[in-house]
């Protein structure tokens, strides 16, 4: 009787573990499936001409070069605004702010900022940057809109990275005659940098993949030439994908999947870079 019970217990455990393992594997399926599917469908479209050429014949032929360049411009523009601002805000929150109604308000604002649907950011960007500030439908307006959307991600990951630096480093540094700012610059920021970079990349990654915020603020349906200044509109990968998937009749399917593949490669590469930075920093960390 006793042996039977023990056996039973082992069996129950086996079944339980198997179920959990299967469920865990199910979560991997969608991502792997998506990647494989897009790879198979899109890979035939990838060619030198596709990556470096302009769209031809109502975008049914040719390449997606302007969309790739446009996405790079938007990523660059977004990082110019959101990175310094986000890191400064994180430093303020982690290093200087004490727990006052003001800082609590800032924190709540950041959390809520992260929850706003991206199309609402698009509308806000249209109102503020395109119309009120008169930047027009432009890389500048789109970058600013994407920056606002990216900020919460950058701020919260950067703040977390800063807070992870042991308090004792700060105390010791101050006791050796450092000012608060010297301590932040020479110790805290240096140690938090990999974590901050990860946050920046993840934030930009999100910005790069978004369609809604640039829809009204900077994205162009089709442009015969590359944008020449920040005040020009630009093509961009996610919007281009939307356009060729829904707005152009008789669109060859491999161009759609080719575009999706390039966008996916963009995003996954950024993810990979973030992961490498993180694991390298973890190996080298001295605390």
Partner 1 sequence: MNKIIIESLSLQYSDGTESLRDVSLDIRQNAVTVLFGPAGGGKSTLLRCLNRLNDLTEVKSSAGRILIDGENILDPQIDVIALRRKVGMVFARPVPLPMSIRENIIYGLELAGEKRRAKLDEAVERSLKLAALWDEVKDRLDAPAIALSGGQQQRVCLARVLALQPEIILLDEPTSGLDPISTGKVEAALQELKKDYTIVLVPHSVQQAGRTADYAAFFLQGELVEYGEGKSIFTAPKEKKTEDYITGRFG
Which parts of this chain interact with partner 1 (CB under 8 A)? 166, 168-179, 182, 186-187, 190-191, 285-287
| Smallest distance, partner 1 to C-beta of residue 285, A | 8
Q: Of 110 and 197, which CB lies nearer to partner 1 in the complex structure?
A: 197
Which residue, 145 or 183, has its beta carbon nearer to partner 1?
183
166, 94 contact by CB (below 8 A): no
CB of 108 to partner 1, least distance (A): 23
d(C-alpha 200, C-alpha 271), whole Å: 11
**Which of 195, 203 has the CB closer to partner 1?**
195
Closest CB to partner 1 among residues 175, 229: 175
Local structure of residue 74 (DSSP, 8 states): H
Six token digits for residue 42 = 């899109």
Angle between helices 253-284 and 65-91 (to 10 degrees): 30
- Number of Cβ within 10 Å of residue 109's Cβ equals 11
Strand partners, 62: 55
Query: Which is closer to partner 1, CB of 7 or CB of 174?
Result: 174
> In sequence order, what are the residues at sequence separation of 6 or more whose Cβ sits closer than 8 angstroms to the Cβ of residue 48?
none
Indicate the residue among 84 and 166 with the shorter CB distance to partner 1.
Answer: 166
Give CA–CA dist 20/24, Å, rounded: 6
Q: How far is the CB of 156 from partner 1 (least distance, A)?
A: 24
Measured CA to CA, the distance from residue 224 to residue 210 in angstroms comes to 23
Question: 41: Cβ–Cβ under 8 A, 6 or more apart, which residues?
Answer: 253, 254, 257, 261
Q: Do 149 and 77 form a contact (C-beta atoms < 8 A)?
A: no
∠ CA 119-120-125, nearest 5°, is 95
What radius of gyration do the chain's Cα atoms show? Answer: 24
Minimum gap (Å) between residue 89 Cβ and partner 1: 22
Closer to partner 1 by CB, 150 or 183: give it.
183
């Amino acid at each position: 009787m006793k042996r039977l019970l023990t056996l039973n217990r082992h069996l129950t455990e086996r079944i339980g573990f198997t179920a959990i393992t299967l469920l865990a594997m199910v979560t991997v399926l969608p991502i792997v499936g998506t990647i494989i599917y897009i790879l198979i469908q899109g890979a035939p479209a990838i060619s030198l001409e596709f990556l470096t050429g302009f769209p031809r014949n109502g975008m049914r032929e040719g390449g997606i070069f302007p969309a790739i360049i446009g996405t790079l411009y938007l990523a660059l523009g977004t990082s110019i605004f959101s990175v310094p601002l986000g890191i400064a805000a994180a430093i303020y929150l982690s290093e200087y702010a004490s727990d006052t109604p003001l800082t609590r308000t800032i924190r709540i604002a950041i959390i809520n900022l992260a929850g706003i649907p991206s199309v609402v950011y698009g509308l806000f960007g249209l109102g503020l940057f395109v119309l009120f500030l008169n930047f027009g439908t432009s890389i500048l307006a789109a970058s600013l809109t994407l920056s606002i959307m990216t900020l919460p991600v950058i701020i919260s990951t950067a703040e977390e990275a800063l807070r992870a630096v042991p308090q004792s480093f700060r105390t010791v540094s101050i006791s050796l005659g450092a000012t608060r700012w010297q301590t932040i610059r020479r110790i805290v920021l240096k140690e938090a940098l990999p974590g901050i970079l990860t946050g920046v990349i993840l934030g930009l990654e999100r910005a790069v993949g978004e369609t809604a915020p640039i829809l009204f603020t900077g994205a162009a349906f089709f442009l015969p030439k590359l944008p020449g200044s920040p005040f020009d509109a630009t093509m961009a990968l996610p919007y281009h994908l939307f356009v060729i998937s829904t707005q152009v009749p008789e669109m060859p399917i491999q161009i759609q999947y080719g575009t999706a593949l390039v966008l996916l490669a963009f995003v996954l590469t950024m993810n990979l870079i973030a992961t490498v930075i993180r694991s390298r920093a973890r190996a080298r960390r001295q605390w």
